């Protein structure tokens, strides 16, 4: 995040990319605090879920910013994100507990919201991955096209390994947020060192 803000002009895309990297890192900080911190595991769990809830709409916004297009889908993503973020921030028992395992953390989300939240999260991320690739096909500008394909690939590098892990060992389904954000470090590298260099404006 710091590198992106230092290297590139403060455009909409740079701000969106920095926000994506910030909230991804905030979730990982929350994981650490939940398992190794001295207090506030539930509070840190709520912070972590608010952070990852904001990632899908920021990604959608970045994709359409790269494509230089507007879409109501971006605002639909932000609206649904705001509802879930508000729930995790303020609702009692939105997170009921956690388990710290060797490679990932299991967050125990309120059972009434688990499926709905999964549909929200996977739905927007898969939609963003597909839309980035589809928008790239219709764009002639080489650097925009490469950036969009890079964004789509960035999504794929954490969706596919997470799905494979769940298929190989279905007990890992309970740890999807933690596992997905672990693989999303690869997405952060693609965003910072492949997507941004092709489309962001350098500071002079």
Secondary structure of the chain as H, E, C letters: CHHHHHHECCCHHHHHHHHHHHHHHHHHHHHHHHHHCCCCHHHHHHHHHHHHHCHHHHHHHHHHHHHCCCCHHHHHHHHHHHHHHHHHHHCCCCEEEEEECCCCEEEEECHHHHHHHHHHHHHHHHHHHHHHHHHHHCCCCHHHHHHHHHHHHHHHHHHHHHHHHHHHCHHHHHHHHHHHHHHHHHHHHHHHHHHHHHHCCECC
Q: Cβ distance 55 to 26 under 8 Å?
A: no
b (16+ CB within 10 A) / e for 111-129 = eebeeebeebbbebbebbb
Q: What is the mean pLDDT of residues 51-72?
A: 96
Query: What's the mean pLDDT when you consider all of the chain?
Result: 92
Residue 174: predicted pLDDT: 73
Q: Return the residue matching tokens 């390994």.
A: 161
Measure the CA–CA gap between 134 and 99, rounded to whole angstroms: 39
pLDDT over 70 at 166, yes or no: yes
What is the pLDDT at residue 201? Answer: 86
Q: pLDDT-based confidence at 148, cuts 50/70/90?
A: very high
Structure confidence by residue, pLDDT tens digits, 93-134: 899 888 888 778 888 888 899 899 999 999 999 999 999 999
How high is the pLDDT of residue 130?
97
List of residues 6+ apart from 131 with CB closer than 8 A:
60, 63, 73
Average pLDDT over residues 174-196: 90
**If you average pLDDT over residues 63-67, what whole number do you get?**
97
Mean pLDDT of 194-204: 88
**What is the C-alpha separation between 73 and 16, in angstroms, rounded?**
16
CA torsion sign for 14, 16, 21, 26 is positive
Residue 204 pLDDT exceeds 80: no
> Is residue 6 very low, low, confident or very high in pLDDT (cuts 50, 70, 90)?
very high
Task: Tell me the CA end-to-end span of the chain in Å, nearest whole number.
Answer: 19
- Percentage of the residues of the chain whose pLDDT score is greater than 90: 71
The yes-or-no verdict on residue 38 having pLDDT over 80 is no
């Amino acid at each position: 995040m710091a590198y992106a803000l230092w290297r590139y002009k403060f455009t909409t895309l740079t701000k969106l990319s920095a926000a994506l990297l910030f909230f991804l890192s905030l979730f990982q900080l929350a994981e650490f605090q939940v398992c190794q911190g001295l207090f506030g595991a539930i509070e840190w769990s709520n912070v972590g879920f608010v952070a990852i809830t904001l990632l899908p709409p920021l990604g959608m916004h970045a994709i359409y910013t790269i494509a230089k297009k507007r879409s109501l889908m971006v605002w639909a993503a932000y609206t649904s994100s705001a509802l879930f973020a508000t729930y995790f921030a303020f609702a009692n028992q939105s997170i009921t507990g956690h388990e710290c395992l060797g490679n990932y953390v299991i967050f125990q989300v309120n059972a009434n919201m688990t499926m709905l939240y999964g549909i929200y999260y996977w739905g927007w991320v898969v939609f963003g991955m597909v839309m980035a690739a589809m928008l790239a096909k219709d764009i002639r500008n080489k650097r925009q096209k490469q950036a969009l394909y890079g964004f789509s690939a960035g999504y794929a590098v954490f969706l596919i390994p997470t799905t494979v892990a769940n298929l190989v060992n279905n007990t890992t389904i309970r740890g999807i947020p933690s596992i997905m954000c672990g693989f999303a470090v690869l997405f952060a590298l693609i965003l910072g060192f492949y997507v941004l260099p092709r489309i962001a404006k350098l500071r002079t």
